[in-house]
Structure 1
Amino acid sequence: MHTRHMSVVDGIERAVREFPDGDALRTADRAVSYQEFGELTDDFARRLAVRTEPGEFIGIESCRDIGAVVAMVGALKARRPFVVIDERDSRASNTDKVRLLGLRLLATTSSPGGHVDLTEVRPQWLPADRAPGDEWRPPRGLPSTDGDLGYAITTSGSTGKPKCVLVRAAPLAPVIRDHVDRLSVGPDSRTLQFARLTFDGCLTEILWTLTAGACLVVLDESHLAPGVILRDTLERFRITHLKTTPFALTATEPTAAMSLEHVVNGGGPCRLSVIRKWSAVASFHNAYGLTETTVCNLLSDPLDPDECRDSVPLGTRVGDCAYHIRHVDAVEGATAATDGGAERGELVITGDSVALGYLTEHGVQSFRQTDDAGVYRTGDIVEHRDGRLHFVERLDRQVKVRGYRLDPGEIENAVCRLDTVRDAVVMAEAHDGADADDLDVLVCYYQGEPDPRTVRRHLEGLLDPYKIPSVLDHVESFPYTPNGKVDRDALRVGRRRLAAEDAPPSSPDLRLLHLVRTLTGVDDVQLEDNFFEVGGDSASAVVLVNEMRGLGWVDAGIRDVLRAENLRVLVGQLQERSV
């Protein structure tokens, strides 16, 4: 069979035939050959086919072990769709999966040798109208896919309520084939299985490895913590292929002792600092894709940091998909050009890679059109320039501050162009710290070496004045959610807490100086500084004026702040006019 027409199951079976003695999987304690792996998956597929009906979903226990991989591949062989269930998720979340998908059986994978047991779904996850041993009832409205339905993934909910996505198996094959080709995966390769099994990113790691006759290294999470632990794991297990998150890549330092050949950034925006350090030890790639469009749609060639100073390209298409850019402020199908001639708008993925749709209480909310063409609006703003596609921002993260509509991602990227900045997050907040609808201040949290003054001077040469954040807050590290994304709410709460704990001085002049430092994020503001040159703006000037009135300058106004050469002048007037 020509490789272009092979399914992922065909690819794995070919690897079993061609490399029977090679290591298919390796844990911290043992290895499983391809011949053993083929036998384990065949055995599970046979048992699964006997105990389930066509179209019936099987639950797979989320454990970092050989058995979990056996269960996934075995389910694909048996043409039974699967969903991964993690005990660490809430009982309500797991009950929703069981109820929505009609789960009856669970593949448990605790055997160190990779044997998989089939048991009844655990009673605590059964919905109220189900009892152990009930007959299988197909989910409401589930379309007939002739055995091609591959798996269900529940989205993280980072952009709204979690949704259950139904993904077909066939589109996986070209996605995986393109990864194998571009990442040069072969029998001598060793991939670290990094992603949680409840995230579909694990599928590319697992399948690009096992269809190429390579070795998948499966370790428990104690070996995967970003930083020193992950660094040691990459060295000790001689990992050649790694796909991981921006957080892990930022927190971990590469070394000459690593065997890395290809490193892939996935799950979030890629920063120049990450490319710079990892491309020194391996070919570094950026990847883009969504659960709703079969894991991955774009993968870059190896990136040169010198060519990514303006922004990082998303890459070219993988798998059977196409895309177009939809202008979000006009009629369907229109596009927009930026001042530089680039095309900007919402990325729309089309083609075979688009999943079936969301499974809901009332049936399937389909992504397929009347001609069965798949179309999915990603909600991501992208820009096409110089023949390449670049990520700008999530559509739902666009903000309006002081009358201007802004893309925080564009500003974050500009901040990260400063060599010594590792990462940045930009958000709109309220100066008074309240959860207000009228957000009046743009705040940039950043990691790196430069002080806020240096960052501000850097931005003044890149951005229009209204795009430059009023507050530049240097932080040692970002908080992250369990799925590896920056926890923006925790950043905002942390700044408010520190501001509340930092008691202002008692004297009026030092209190005014303290307020300016809080409003701008510039900790070394002095009396010789001009309020607006250190980041003050019209909104923060209002806060400053109100503070001056509270200190006794009862007729203070915005005009006084505008006219003052520096803060020393304002303090002098405050002392003269206090009552």
Structure 2
Amino acid sequence: MSVTDEIARTIQEHPERGAIETVDGVLSYREFGERVEAFVARVEALTAPGEFIGIEATRTSGSVVALVGALRAGRPFVFIDPRDSEASNKTKVTSLGVNRVATSTAPSHPPELVPTPTEWGGGGAGARHLRAPAALAPHRGGIGYAIHTSGSTGQPKCVLVRAEPLARMVQDHVRTLEVNHRSRTLQFARLTFDGCITEILWTLTAGACLVVLGEEALSPGTVLRTTLERFGITHLKTTPFALTATEPTDAMSLEHVLNGGGACRQSVVRKWSSVAAFHNAYGTTETTVCNLLSGALHPDDCTESVPLGAMVGDCGYDILPLPEQAGDGPSGSRATRGELIITGESVAIGYLTERGLDAFVDDDGNRFYRTGDIVEHREGQLFFVERLDRQLKVRGYRLDPGEIESAACRLGGVVEAAVTAESHEDTGDSPVDALVCYYQGTVSPRTLRAHLEDVLDAYKVPSVIHQVETLRYTRNGKVDRDALGASRHSSSHPGGSVTPEERVLDVVRRLTGVDDVSLDDNFFDVGGDSASAVVLVNKLKDLGWMDVGVRDVLRAENLKDLVDQLRDQGV
């Protein structure tokens, strides 16, 4: 049974239940069904079978009606956000042949199907008709929607996803999350992100109520907390950032909370599992939304890292060993580490490119997608490690920053961590010679360093451990590592140091991230290494100690001893 068949069954059996709630009121399943049928009739009259329609990505009941109506009519859809650039939207429209767009003028109004605006590449009210590329013809009738990746490679890609695998994936969510007619789901994900599809469909196939609000009601922190309380939300799927920034309260009605869109940290599990069943989810845009979903997690089962869960939907997986790690996992463990490969019917059709269709199949024609994500399989479970393209090489060692971040988050008091490779020097031509760990939490950099030295190989311990009040995030909810690096350099230029002791302490603090460095500390005990020792020497020469050398740093019992040597040499 398809997802639209499930929704039709719910409409027939429970017509007076609330289907969608907005700030304007509640739309019953009967009213929702009537609007879907009216939209289907309009779509079938104005478009051809298999023709793409656009849906304006506004948070309204009309957008949800249009999504369900498009699936019901067998018309693939693509969400178009008016806030995105005209160039981006024009690419979507012209590449897919979108001649009609569903729009909603108010949160509770039914959708209207209008000609695609000319500024998006459409013909407006004129006679111009866009044609879909020939590459779509073999898949006409099978495509559910197109979604564009966030463009981590610099150029967003258009993914064509089939409609049929949605049913099993949604059913698995309904069962695991215990969705029923009393459930209330907050529609949190942006409509241009495929996470919105699970929120919408697990709710409407189970006869639950979907709460659709404007983004002003979804800001992580006190705003989101108030929304969860006020609207009696029982089911929430959101990002690591939102879960970190928002505090649960006794006034909430939450029953199930899901982490999605990024690595889940132990602190998040501890916090939210105290008020609801907490789940971790994993999926990639190039498949049918979600591939892995955990059962309810307990903090005691997530001390090392947080498992990704069991497969959902019609898919399987393989792990492709990394060249340098074929065989045993890291440090001789019984783990298998490698790139995650998704197989099965849930794998999308492929990328639509200017050259045609780049299908997701292997040499034998089987559905096959290389995710680019490094995972580890141990003790019967999968764990996320890092993006393959985020592996770092520092001082000759290839590192997975996600492994170090996860290790940092094992320490109680660490909420989140982000590891980058940077230069000790704030100049454009400086070599990348420092592994830097930014973290949000209550423990000191010294405590975190001692913990990492206990649980990681020495070459994986960051040179700089820098505590921040909050991590910075991008519009997509990802940690903004570039902004973190810029903030560290911009705040690392002290002024007013007059004594030799203060000058040395200033430099060492900048090189290690340890703000309470004292003269009794040994440079290497607080994070100094061979690379930062060279930088230290260069900085000291800039301050006037022209005869200082690396040997002076190596021989100094502590920083006081080093200062005494410098004082003997003169300033």
The TM-score bracket by the shorter chain reads over 0.9
Offset at residue 459 of structure 1 (A): 1.2
Do structure 1's residue 572 and structure 2's residue 564 form an aligned pair? yes
Identify the residue that residue 446 of structure 2 maps to in structure 1: 453
Structural mapping, 1:177-192, within 5 Å: 177-192=171-186
Three-state SS of the structure 2 residue aligned to 1:238 is coil
Q: Distance in 1 between matches of 2:125 and 2:444?
A: 61
Shift of 1:508: 3.4
Within the alignment, does 1:432 sit opposite 2:425 as a pair? yes
Q: Which amino acid aligns with 2:213?
A: L
- The residue type paired with residue 321 of structure 1 is C
* Selected match of 1:314 from 308, 314, 318: 308
Q: Give, in whole Å, the separation in 1 of the partners of 2:561 and 2:152.
A: 47
Offset at 1:130?
9.7
- Structure 2 Cα separation of the partners of residues 74 and 155 of structure 1: 24
Contact 1:120 1:133 in 2 (8 A): no
Whole-angstrom CA distance in 1 between matches of 2:527 and 2:445: 9
Choose which of 12, 23, 26 in structure 1 pairs with 2:21. Answer: 26
Residue-by-residue CA offset, 1:451-493 (whole Å, 9 max, x unaligned): 1111111112111111111111111111211111111111111
* Greater mean deviation of Cα atoms: 548-557 or 316-325: 548-557
Cα distance in 2 for residues equivalent to 1:528 and 1:131: 77
Equivalence for 2:500: 508
Whole-angstrom CA distance in 2 between matches of 1:425 and 1:136: 45
From the superposition, tell whether residues 120 and 555 of structure 1 become closer, same or farther in structure 2 (CA, over 3 Å): same
Are the aligned partners of 1:192 and 1:239 in contact in 2 as well (CA < 8 Å)?
A: yes
Q: Please name the residue that 1:229 is paired with.
A: 223
Displacement, 1:24? Answer: 0.6
Opposite residue 236 of structure 1, the aligned amino acid is R
CA 1:347–1:504: 2 relative to 1, 3 Å: farther
- Check conservation: 2:95, 2:132, Cα contact below 8 A: no
Query: Comparing 482-491 with 307-316, which one deviates more in the overlay?
Result: 482-491
Whether 1:479 aligns to 2:484 is no
User: Do the aligned partners of 1:504 and 1:511 also contact (CA within 8 Å) in 2?
Assistant: no
TM-superposition CA deviations, 1:341-360 (whole Å, max 9, x none): 11000000011011011111
Does the residue aligned with 2:138 lie in a helix, a strand or coil?
coil
After superposition, the Cα gap between the structure-2 partners of 1:115 and 1:18, relative to the gap in structure 1 and judged at 3 Å, is same
SS of corresponding position for 1:444: strand
Alignment partner, residue 547 of structure 2: 555
Hey, what does 1:13 align to over in structure 2?
8
Deviation at 1:553, TM superposition (A): 3.2
Decide which moves more: 474-483 or 242-251: 474-483
Q: Give the letter for the 1:187 counterpart.
A: H
Q: Does 1:76 align with 2:71?
A: yes
SS of alignment partner, residue 461 of structure 1 = helix
CA distance in 2, matches of 1:389, 1:370: 26
Shift of 1:54: 1.7
Secondary structure of 1:176's match?
Answer: helix
1:199 alignment partner in structure 2: 193
Structure 2, unaligned runs of 5 or more: none
The whole-number CA distance in structure 2 between the counterparts of 1:23 and 1:240 is 15
How many Å separate the matches in 2 of 1:436 and 1:302?
Answer: 49
* Counterpart code for 1:328: L
Q: CA deviation at 1:330?
A: 6.6
**1:264 aligned partner:** 258
Shift of 1:142: 1.8
What TM-score, normalized by structure 1, do the two folds share?
0.96
Q: Which residue of the partner structure matches residue 38 of structure 2?
A: 43
Change (3 A) 1:371 1:21: farther
Q: Which whole-Å CA distance do the structure 2 matches of 1:112 and 1:402 have between them?
A: 55
Pick one of 109, 112, 119 that aligns with 1:114: 109
Q: What pairs with 1:122-141 in structure 2 (closer than 5 Å)?
A: 122-126=117-121, 132-141=126-135
Q: Write the mapping of 1:246-395 to structure 2, written as runs, cut at 5 A.
A: 246-329=240-323, 336-338=328-330, 339-369=332-362, 371-395=364-388
1:3 aligned partner: none
Aligned residue type for 2:345 = D
**Residues 335 and 345 in structure 1, CA contact (< 8 A), matched pair in contact too:** no
Residue type of the alignment partner of 2:276? A
State the AA in 1 paired with 2:481.
R
Q: Secondary structure at the match of 1:303?
A: coil
Is the CA contact (8 Å cut-off) linking 1:64 and 1:220 kept in structure 2? yes
Q: Is 2:452 the partner of 1:464?
A: no
The verdict on how the C-alpha distance between 1:238 and 1:425 changes in structure 2, with shifts beyond 3 A counting, is same
Match of 2:211 among 210, 217, 231: 217
- Cα deviation per residue 1:234-274 (whole Å; 9 max; x = unaligned)? 11111110000000000000011111110000000000000
Partner of 1:420: 413
Can you list the C-alpha shifts for 1:2-57, whole angstroms capped at 9, x where unaligned? xxxx1111111111111111111111221111111111011101110111112211
**Number of residues of Structure 1 aligned to a counterpart in Structure 2:** 570
Mark the runs of 5 or more structure 1 residues left unpaired by the alignment: 1-5
Say whether the 8 Å CA contact 1:140–1:362 is kept in structure 2: no
Query: CA 1:535 to 1:82, structure 2 compared with 1: closer, same or farther past 3 Å?
Result: same
Q: Structure 1 residues 401 and 369 mapped into 2: Cα distance closer, same or farther (>3 Å)? A: closer
CA distance in 2, matches of 1:176, 1:357: 21
| Partner-residue secondary structure (3-state), 2:160 | strand
Secondary structure in structure 1 of the residue aligned to 2:384: strand
Deviations along 1:155-181, one digit per CA (max 9) or x if unpaired, are 111354211111010111111010000
Residues 510-529 of structure 1: pairs in structure 2 closer than 5 A:
510-529=502-521
Cα pair distance change 1:537/1:422, threshold 3 Å? same
Aligned to 1:100: 95
Instruction: For residue 112 of structure 1, report the CA deviation from its aligned partner.
Output: 4.5
Contact 1:447 1:476 in 2 (8 A): yes
Residues 22 and 107 in structure 2, CA contact (< 8 A), matched pair in contact too: no
1:370/1:112 Cα in 2 relative to 1: closer, same or farther (>3 Å)?
A: same
Q: Secondary structure at the match of 1:191?
A: strand
Instruction: Tell me, in whole angstroms, the C-alpha distance in 2 between the residues paired with 1:203 and 1:39.
Output: 21
**Superposition misfits of 4+ residues, deviation over 6 angstroms:** none
Shift of 1:140: 4.1
Among 36, 51, 58, the alignment partner of 1:56 is 51
For 2:223 and 2:397, locate their aligned partners in 1 and report how far apart those are by CA, in whole Å: 44
Of residues 97-106 and 130-139 in structure 1, the stretch that sits farther from structure 2 once superposed is 130-139
Residue range with higher mean Cα deviation, 115-124 or 393-402: 115-124
Whether the aligned pair in 2 keeps the contact of 1:430 and 1:436 (CA below 8 Å) is no
**CA distance in 1: counterparts of 2:564 and 2:218, whole angstroms:** 57
CA contact (8 A) 2:414 2:443 kept: yes
Separation in 1, partners of 2:44, 2:327: 49
Name the CA distance, whole Å, in 2 between partners of 1:166 and 1:141: 11
1:161 maps to 155
Partners of 1:533 and 1:459 in 2: how far apart?
Answer: 13
Secondary structure at the counterpart of residue 291 of structure 1: coil
Q: Contact 2:118–2:124 at 8 Å: present in 1 too?
A: no
Match of 2:522 in 1: 530
Separation (CA, whole Å) in 1 of partners of 2:153 and 2:479: 13
After TM superposition, give the deviation of residue 393 of structure 1 in Å.
Answer: 0.6
Deviation at 1:554, TM superposition (A): 2.7
- The alignment partner of 1:286 has SS state of strand
Q: Identity rate of aligned residues, in percent?
A: 61
Supply the AA of the counterpart residue of 2:561.
Answer: V
Q: Residue 511 of structure 1: CA displacement?
A: 1.3
The question of whether the paired residues in 1 share the 8 Å contact of 2:501 and 2:519 is answered with no
SS in 1 for 2:78: strand
| Aligned-partner Cα distance in 1 for 2:111–2:542 | 70
**More displaced stretch, 137-146 vs 168-177:** 137-146
**Cα distance, 1:378 vs structure 2:** 0.5
Partner SS for 1:133: coil
In structure 1, distance between residues paired with 2:430 and 2:346 = 38
Alpha-carbon distance between aligned partners in 2 of 1:10 and 1:552, rounded to the nearest angstrom: 78
